[in-house]
Amino acid sequence: MENNLRKGQLELGMQRAREKDRNHHLGGRSFYFFDFDDNIAFLTTPLVLFHKKTDQELHISSGEWAKAHSLIGLSGIYQDYEIRFDDRIGTFRYFRDQELSELERLGYEHQIFVKDVKDILKFPDFDWKGPSWECFYHATFNQRPISVITARGHSAETLKEGIRIFVENKVLPLEPNYLSLFAVSNNQTRLELGDDQFIMNTAQLKQKAIRASVERAVEIYGYNDHHRFGMSDDDPKNLQLIYDEMKRLKSDYPQMSFFLIETHNGDFIKHEITLSSTQSIVLSHHQLSLFETL
Please check whether residues 65 and 131 belong to one and the same domain: no
Give the DSSP letter of residue 249. H
Is 68 inside a domain boundary?
yes
65 and 209: one domain? no
38: alpha, beta or left, given left = phi > 0 and alpha = psi -120 to 50?
A: left
Q: Is 268 a member of any domain? A: yes
CB 56 within 8 A of CB 63: no
214 near 18, Cβ under 8 Å? no
Map 52-119 to HEC letters.
CCCCCEEEECHHHHHHHHHHCCCCHHHCCEECCCCCCCCCCHHHECCCHHHHHHHCCCCCHHHHHHHH
For residue 263, CA distances in Å to 71, 113, 164 come to 21, 22, 24
Q: Is residue 17 part of a domain?
A: no
Q: Are residues 134 and 274 in the same domain?
A: yes
Residues 226 and 178 in one domain: yes
Q: Does a structural domain hold residue 103?
A: no
Same domain, 119 and 199: yes
Amino acid identity at 57: E
pLDDT at residue number 68:
87
Residue 63 to residue 34: CA distance in whole angstroms? 16
Q: What is the pLDDT of residue 11?
A: 39
Residue 15 lies in a domain: no
d(CA 246, CA 210): 8
What was the pLDDT predicted at 265? 66
242: in domain: yes
CATH number at residue 255: 3.40.50
Assigned domain for 205 exists: yes
Number of domains in the chain: 2
- Yes or no: say if 260 and 266 are a contact pair by the CB < 8 Å rule: no
Q: What is the pTM of this model?
A: 0.85
Check whether residue 143 and residue 256 sit in a common domain: yes
64, part of any domain: yes
Partners of 60 in the beta sheet? 47
Claim to verify: residue 187 and residue 149 sit in the same structural domain: yes
How many Cα neighbours within 13 Å face the side chain of 107? 0
Contacts for 105 with CB less than 8 Å, ≥ 6 apart: none
Question: pLDDT means per 10 residues in the chain (294 residues)?
Answer: 37 62 89 94 96 97 87 95 94 92 80 95 94 92 96 96 97 97 97 96 94 98 96 82 93 95 76 79 49 44
Rounded CA gap, 272 and 250, in Å? 10
Both 191 and 55 in one domain: the answer is no
| Neighbour-count burial for 13-38, b at 16+ CB within 10 Å, e otherwise | eeeeeeeebbbeeeebbbbbbbbbbb
Tell me which residue range forms the domain holding 140: 24-41+113-282
Note whether 51 and 156 are same-domain residues.
no
Q: Quick one: 145 and 236 in the same domain?
A: yes
CB atoms under 10 Å from CB of 51, counted, come to 13
Q: What 3-state DSSP class applies to 169?
A: coil
Give yes or no: residues 77 and 177 share one domain: no
Same domain, 28 and 68: no
